[in-house]
Amino acid sequence: MKILHLDAGKQMGGGQHQVLRLIEGLLAENHDCTLLARAGYPLFEAAHKQGWRVEPLGLTRFASCARNHDLIHAHDAKTHTLALLNRKTPLIVARRVAFPISSKFKYARPNHYIAVSNFVKSVLTEAGIPETKISVVYDGVPSAFTGVHRRPIILTHPEKSGALAQEAASLANLELTVSTDLEANLPHATIFLYVSQSEGLGSGVLLAMSAGCAVVASKVGGIPEIIHHRHNGMLIENTPEAIAEALQELHGNPALVHQLSQAAQATIAKRFTTAEMVRSTMEVYRRVLA
């Protein structure tokens, strides 16, 4: 199978990491993959470093590549728009965000959608897209981290450490440590705070669970599909008081932190592995091409 992947992202966010993990899995199964990405940006450089076939994203290059592949997989909104210019090659669009759809014309064209959660699927169906054209494929993350030294710190990501998170930490009299490299820093943390107003799924939450952190996350979007409150993490309302209460409880209860950590890693191993993400995506490809 020959798959053309498109991604216009300028940063290495959750979506770009999923593109890399998906291509790696597809190549391991001897499928032919080409990635069109922004030249000079992190995703392009990461794929190039791996020795994969990656070329600069652009109209001319897309037109040339599209006719030589079995299907097109657009991984973001901008490349979804670009892919509409090709009318012959089957098109699959990944939908990771939770906000409502504004252009029904644009969303009528693709052959199939891969939604990152059931919540995102509901956004698509509310816009009139038939359920038969939507498959839910959860993100996959690396296997659980073990054998690391943990420090009693509360870690968060810059995009999730805004005024609300900082106010809650101050109310709890606790300090937040902000990380721009979650994969490197999560295995050394005990608690991960993820405050969001809108979330398709929450790839940072999955990484933290795999790393063995006790996660405190907003009860929004697709996050409740990952976390079951007080079983493998803590779901909180977006108020300073609720966040502070959860942080204080975990900070003073190592046994609960351990319990949530163990359950979180078990959840990842059962439902959110990279292998499962690749397998489920391949099922969608085969269904579209059948």
Q: Render each residue's pLDDT in the chain as its tens digit; 290 residues.
A: 999 999 999 999 899 999 999 999 999 999 999 999 999 999 999 999 999 999 999 999 999 999 899 999 999 999 999 999 998 999 999 999 998 887 778 888 899 999 999 999 999 999 999 999 999 999 999 876 665 667 778 989 888 878 899 999 999 999 999 988 888 889 889 999 999 999 999 999 999 999 999 999 999 999 999 999 999 999 999 999 999 999 999 998 999 999 999 999 999 999 999 999 999 999 999 999 99
The residue range of the domain holding 38 is: 2-140+273-289
Q: Tell me if 147 is assigned to some domain.
A: no
Residue 87 and residue 52 share a domain? yes
Residue 133 and residue 12 share a domain? yes
Q: What is the pLDDT of residue 143?
A: 78
Number of domains, the chain: 2
Residue 163 and residue 122 share a domain? no
- Give the chain's largest Cα–Cα span: 59
Residue 37 and residue 162 share a domain? no
Expressed in angstroms, the distance from the first to the final Cα of the chain is 12
Q: What is the pLDDT of residue 246?
A: 96
Q: How far apart are CA 56 and CA 62, in angstroms?
A: 9
Residue 258 and residue 277 share a domain? no
Q: Tell me if 9 is assigned to some domain.
A: yes
Which domain CATH number covers 33?
3.40.50.2000
Q: How far apart are CA 215 and CA 202, in angstroms?
A: 11
Q: Tell me if 282 is assigned to some domain.
A: yes
Residue 237 and residue 135 share a domain? no
Residue 282 and residue 261 share a domain? no
Spell out the residues 6+ positions from residue 49 whose beta carbon is closer than 8 angstroms to its own: none
Q: What is the pLDDT of residue 149?
A: 62
Q: Tell me if 114 is assigned to some domain.
A: yes
What's the token pair of residue 160? Answer: 């999730």
Residue 134 and residue 70 share a domain? yes
Q: Tell me if 243 is assigned to some domain.
A: yes
Q: Tell me if 178 is assigned to some domain.
A: yes
Residue 86 and residue 36 share a domain? yes
Spell out the residues 6+ positions from residue 289 whose beta carbon is closer than 8 angstroms to its own: 1, 70, 71, 90
Q: Tell me if 149 is assigned to some domain.
A: no
Q: Tell me if 29 is assigned to some domain.
A: yes
Residue 120 and residue 12 share a domain? yes
Residue 181 and residue 115 share a domain? no
Q: What is the pLDDT of residue 158?
A: 84
Residue 260 and residue 280 share a domain? no
**pTM of the predicted model, to two decimals?**
0.93
